[in-house]
Amino acid sequence: MPRDLRAGRVTHWQVTGQGPRAALAIHCSLAHAGSLGALARALSDLLRLTAFDLPGHGQSAAWDGQGEIQAASTAIAADLLDGPADIIGHSFRATVALRLAVEHPHLVRSLSLYEPVFFAVALADRPDLRAGHEAEVAEFAAGMAAGDMHAAARGFLSVWGGGEAWETLPAPVRSRMAAQMPLIEAAAPALYGDAGGMLASGALTRIAAPVLLMEGARSPVIIGAINDGLAARLPDCRRVRLDGAGHMGPVTHPGAVAAEIRGFLSPARAARRNPEPG
């Protein structure tokens, strides 16, 4: 499991599978590369999948606050690739995958995205959802405003977690999550303010790679609105809703998510998408 400089940042990564297709997986906030292990193993015959720890996560270096975290994460992803790959992204890091496709299209063969939390898209199209969304994340916001990182983490987990009750988590896990809350706040300019300019510039409409947009049936309402907005802009997009899954679907339902990715990447579907000239 290598650990080296990528885009000027100490980065840890691991490689799973011996499949014929190169792939890159980007985990969600508060997780690490190993959190996608079950998903990677389910696709190991199809993909040779590199998964890396993002800044402030796993065995990669701490986030130093220098620059904008979505841009930094995108640069690391690009530095780990030496040619076109299938990109798998979850939550905030699914927005990193989108930005990779915008800024480095030659490195992206396909995008499989589980619940990209690009709130700017939903709030641009559905401003009526703002009040409900703000109420949903109010505990997190209040904790951050008060400097109470444990309260912020409890609020964050209640919306975006995999169903775990905060009180049942081991104390070291709660402390780690609390320490990572500034990383969540650091992502806000990209997720709410479109720091990468992907929405404002119309860049999403120019992504040529095929996109699989996945969401859980038990996820917050705003997720469906985000995927509605992305699907309306992405030229080649397929939507999937997974029954029984929530925001942490790639971790809680890896088999179901892997099956959707496998079907999306199948040669038969590629042939239907790009038929031979008649």
pLDDT class of 270 with cuts at 50, 70, 90? low
Angle at 118 between CA 169 and CA 14, to 5 degrees: 60
pLDDT of residue 174: 94
What DSSP assignment string belongs to 84-140?
-EEEEEETHHHHHHHHHHHH-GGGEEEEEEE----HHHHHHH-GGGHHHHHHHTHHH
In this prediction, residues 235-243 reach a mean pLDDT of: 97
In this predicted structure, the answer to whether residue 273 has a pLDDT above a threshold of 80 is: no
In this predicted structure, the answer to whether residue 158 has a pLDDT above a threshold of 70 is: yes
pLDDT class of 159 with cuts at 50, 70, 90? very high
Burial class (CB in 10 A: 0-12, 13-18, 19+), 262: middle
CA distances (Å), origin 178, targets 66, 147, 189: 21, 10, 20
Helix (H/G/I), strand (E/B), else coil: 224: helix
Angstrom distance (rounded) from CA 73 to CA 76: 5
Burial class (CB in 10 A: 0-12, 13-18, 19+), 67: middle
pLDDT of residue 30: 84
In this structure, of 56-65, 115-124, 144-153, 214-223, the range with the lowest mean pLDDT score is 56-65
pLDDT of residue 278: 38
Structural domains in the chain, CATH included, are 3-127+191-273 (3.40.50.1820)
* Percent residues over pLDDT 70 in the chain: 96
The contacts of residue 200 (CB under 8 Å, 6+ apart) are 194
